Structure 1
Amino acid sequence: MKGWIKRFAGVGWALLLPACGTNAQSGENPAYDRLLGTLYRGTVPVIRPAALARQLHEQPGTVLLLDTRTPAEYAVSHLREARFVDFDHYKQATFADLPRTQEIVVYCSVGARSEQVGERLRALGFKQVYNLYGGIFQWVNQGLPVYNAQGITENVHPYSALWSPWLSRGNKVYE
């Protein structure tokens, strides 16, 4: 927990910025990009939402999606066919059931937690690990679909009230 406090203390100013300046067509937001630049350590290569969506559409089954949020966040919505990896327990996981040769994309709300899980996967020998740039927030902000147990949904768990301004599309649901 102390590591998170240190990391986020340095980005407190970025959280106070309004989530303005979003290009509604593309979901791009320069302020959000600056925030992500302060959160990411650059230890796991990123893939942009549009590129991932294109790959999932054109080459189904080639990417394994890992949702690294909490059970409550995952239940509200997730990317289609994403497997749940509980962030609170990933350090103990061996990921023995995952194919080491398949491309893996990890994601969370904004990409900070998933980068840590991506680091763990790479340390365990996984070679093709990518972090979804901007996380599920950027995915939804760009108008890409999310799902829950009933099917496609507009609902997204915004992690906390502090982070919710960065989610500019979808219904914010805390469950």
Structure 2
Amino acid sequence: MKQLSIFLPIFLMPLLLLAQQTLDPKFEKKIEELIEHSVPVISCERLEQKVNTPNLYLLDAREKKEYETSHLKDAVWVGYDTFSPERLTMVPKDGIVVVYCSVGYRSEKIGEQLKKMGYSRVYNLYGGIFEWTNRTYPLVNLQNEVTTKVHAYNRDWGRWLNKGEKVY
């Protein structure tokens, strides 16, 4: 009985954490259909607690227009279709790297590339900037001013963005 009481919390903890990572269960289901978990995920709550961690680098894997509308403070734009390793010169291989996009698909693909390039501590922001915004965590514009505007990619994907001002 003692072994069972130790085993159950260890076994159930990852499931409980995963189940609590988005505010909308339908959005959660959509994310799980999109990502393969080939890159470890980090929840918005966990990242928000760690934003001032030394050696933490935030990479925005959306396209330039999306990044220019808003992004996480101190995030570096690396793009997706236009991704280039030259944009990573300031990111050490042993740095803690969190990649995000709108919902997590593009950032996972960029995260896979980073791992192949030798980055060892790469994480995908679960739910991306949409979930970050839905939880009312701050965003900034190009002038580093707080904004509520979020590029919602398109109207179909924008339905997952429940807070903030949608921009297309």
TM-score bin, normalised by smaller chain? 0.7 to 0.9
Alignment of 1:1-175 (within 5 A): 28-57=23-52, 59=53, 61-90=54-83, 92-93=84-85, 95-150=88-143, 151-174=145-168
Q: Which runs of 5+ in 1 are unaligned?
A: 1-25
C-alpha distance in 2, partners of 1:84/1:166? 22
Alpha-carbon deviation of 1:97?
4.2
Larger Cα Rg: Structure 1 or Structure 2? Answer: 2
| Alignment size in residue pairs | 146
C-alpha distance in 1, partners of 2:49/2:29? 25
C-alpha distance in 2, partners of 1:101/1:62? 8
What is the TM-score with the length of structure 2 in the denominator?
0.82
Task: Provide runs of 4+ in structure 1 moved above 2 Å.
Answer: 92-98
What is the TM-score with the length of structure 1 in the denominator?
0.79
Q: SS at the partner of 2:51?
A: helix
Alpha-carbon deviation of 1:63?
1.0
Q: Which runs of 5+ in 2 are unaligned?
A: 1-20
The aligned counterpart of 1:14 is none
Q: CA RMSD, aligned part only?
A: 1.5
Alpha-carbon deviation of 1:96?
4.6
C-alpha distance in 2, partners of 1:156/1:146? 8
Alpha-carbon deviation of 1:38?
0.4
